[in-house]
Amino acid sequence: MQLIDVNKEDKLIFQHNVITSGRYDYSACMLDILFMVLSCLEKNKLEYTIHTYDIEVITGRKWNYKQLREATESIGSRMFEIDTPESYDQ
């Protein structure tokens, strides 16, 4: 994924490889939602709104309402596992 047109004064960008290389059982739709939220993260911001159109433009994939609803419901029930030499986190 490549980020384009980022105003560095407004954004603080962090990405650790364990986020993108962690073990998880996510569908393509769930991953699109997750990475879209990750791309919008801002320090001290707790709520985010993402738009289907933005996901579709970036990924080239189209998602219908039912797929998005089911994906967002499932994200909360999935385990995200990160295994490092120091620890194994879930």
pLDDT of residue 55 exceeding 50: yes
- Residue 1 confidence (pLDDT): 46
Categorize the per-residue pLDDT at 10 as very low, low, confident or very high, splitting at 50, 70 and 90.
low
- Residue 71 confidence (pLDDT): 93
Q: Which of 13, 25, 52, 14 lies closest to 36 in space, CA to CA?
A: 52
- The residue-averaged pLDDT of 54-71 equals 92
87 vs 9: CA distance, rounded Å: 34
- The residue-averaged pLDDT of 53-62 equals 91
- Residue 16 confidence (pLDDT): 55
The residues spanned by each domain of the chain are 19-89
Sheet holding 80-83, edge to edge: 23-24, 80-83, 88-89
